[in-house]
Amino acid sequence: MPHLFGVEWAPLNIPLTRRLQTLGALHFFFITLFTPVLVLTLPLYLLYTVFWPLIAVYAVWMIYDWSSPRKGAYRSEWFQRQRIHSWYANYFPVQMHTTSEMPEEHNYLIGYHPHGIISMAAFINFATNGTGILDTLPRIRFHLCTLVGQFWTPWRREWGLLHGMIDCSRESIKHVLEHEEKGRAVVLVVGGAEEALDAHPGCHILTLKKRKGFVKIALQTGAQLVPCYSFGENDIFNQADNPKGSSIRQFQTVMKKILGFSPPAFYGRGVFNYTFGLLPFRKPINTVLGAPIPVEKTLNPTQEQIDTLHETYMNKLRDLFEEHKTKFDVSPTTQLVIN
């Protein structure tokens, strides 16, 4: 691979397969990072053109459809099965490993760990068929949770809803899990913005000890809890060193309180180079879906019941990590840190 000016450049004779995989990564980059800027500025321009009626029509639609992120979305398998998702999954590659059956007579609340920088594998595994989840567990309808603000941007909100994505509010999660039709699964990235700040290559640090709201919802709805861990999620970007107490970490914490998400200082690779850019590095991600934890429905759970189930969940997650870590190039001495 040629080097010039300290940059490792991609060779010209790259196979078509890998070019298509890069296209898949660019597609996700365009949707998640570029599209919000575009769709928030383009309407302002169109208002002063002959296309202004389109803005008015979409505004009416958006008002009418405003509650969909809290009402289970409108998941389309046609969108989830688009070939570009498979290209993106193979870019890393991402692979899903199930360890147990998930009978359709139950609903499930899946805790996804770790958050990583952008929770790439969570989207690939559960919002698309990139790793074959629709074929592996065909009778389960998955709904990936994301920030409420993700549904404030025109067009991209519909893109998310067609992939079954819902907002991460309590109302939204309970709406899915309390549905009379069983076989539904909500996927929640439990660690959230705080955990993203600990997403450094080789690190396995979770924000979980005080995150008990999802356990309470599981008890109230009777949904079975399922631990899920993605080995490699933290390895696909490099993040600036930001130990707790440092100036950059303090700034990120303040911004998280203001914006609702943390602004990690990260970088990956580019389209034509392997040294810097905003595309993720090509490193494997192996997602292990654990066995469901039975939960007895309790409409008004006590704090003791919540704490007991939360402790059970953390122990099952640790067991899942310990059982599978050496299969995916994690040192036998590495421990899962739960903060």
The pLDDT score that the predictor gives to residue 253 is 85
Q: Which of 10-14, 132-136, 308-312 has the lowest mean pLDDT?
A: 10-14
What six digits make up the tokens of 99? 């360890």
d(CA 115, CA 233): 8
The stretch 138-153 carries a mean pLDDT of: 94
pTM of the full structure: 0.94
User: What is the structure's pLDDT at 93?
Assistant: 98
Structure tokens at 286: 């192996």
What is the Cα–Cα distance from 148 to 160, expressed in whole angstroms? 11
Cα angle 28-199-308, degrees, rounded to a multiple of 5: 110
pLDDT of residue 4 exceeding 70, the answer is: no
Share of the chain above pLDDT 90, in %: 78
Residue 321, pLDDT score: 98
CA 225, CA 218: separation in Å to the nearest integer?
Answer: 7
Residue 100 above 70 pLDDT? yes
Preceding amide of 93 cis, omega within 30: yes
Residue span of the structural domain in which 207 resides: 3-338
Q: What is the pLDDT of residue 186?
A: 98
Q: Is the pLDDT of residue 104 over 80?
A: yes
- Which of the residue ranges 99-103, 110-114, 248-252, 321-325 would you say has the lowest mean pLDDT? 248-252
Mean pLDDT within 182-201: 95
Question: What number is the average pLDDT over the span 287-295?
Answer: 98
| Residue 296: predicted pLDDT | 96
Domain count for the chain:
1
For the record, the structure tokens of 271 come out as 């389209």
Residue 271 to residues 24, 104, 119, Cα–Cα distance (Å): 12, 42, 20
Question: Alpha helix (H) ranges present in the chain?
Answer: 16-29, 35-46, 52-64, 77-80, 83-91, 120-126, 133-136, 156-162, 170-177, 192-196, 213-221, 247-259, 303-324
Confidence tier at 264 by pLDDT (50, 70, 90): confident
Mean pLDDT of the chain: 94
pLDDT given for residue 88 in this prediction: 98
Confidence of residue 47 (pLDDT cuts 50, 70, 90): confident
Task: Check whether 6 has a pLDDT greater than 80.
Answer: no
Is the pLDDT assigned to residue 43 strictly greater than 90? no
Predicted pLDDT at 1: 55
CA atoms of 3 and 264, how far apart (whole Å): 28
Report the distance separating Cα 69 and Cα 148, nearest Å.
8
Instruction: Give 183's pLDDT tier (boundaries 50, 70, 90).
Output: very high
pLDDT attached to residue 5 = 65
Residue 261 has pLDDT above 80, yes or no: no
Angstrom distance (rounded) from CA 147 to CA 123:
13
264-270 contacts: CB < 8 A, separation 24 or more?
Answer: 264/117, 264/196, 264/197, 264/199, 264/239, 264/240, 265/239, 265/240, 266/117, 266/199, 266/237, 266/238, 266/239, 266/240, 267/237, 267/238, 268/236, 268/237, 268/238
**CA torsion angle 18 277 13 201 (round to 10):** -60
Q: How many whole angstroms separate alpha carbon 221 and alpha carbon 227?
A: 17
Q: Is the pLDDT of residue 283 over 90?
A: yes
Q: Given this model, what pLDDT does residue 10 score?
A: 82
Task: Work out the percent of the chain whose per-residue pLDDT is above 70.
Answer: 99
Rg (CA), the chain: 20
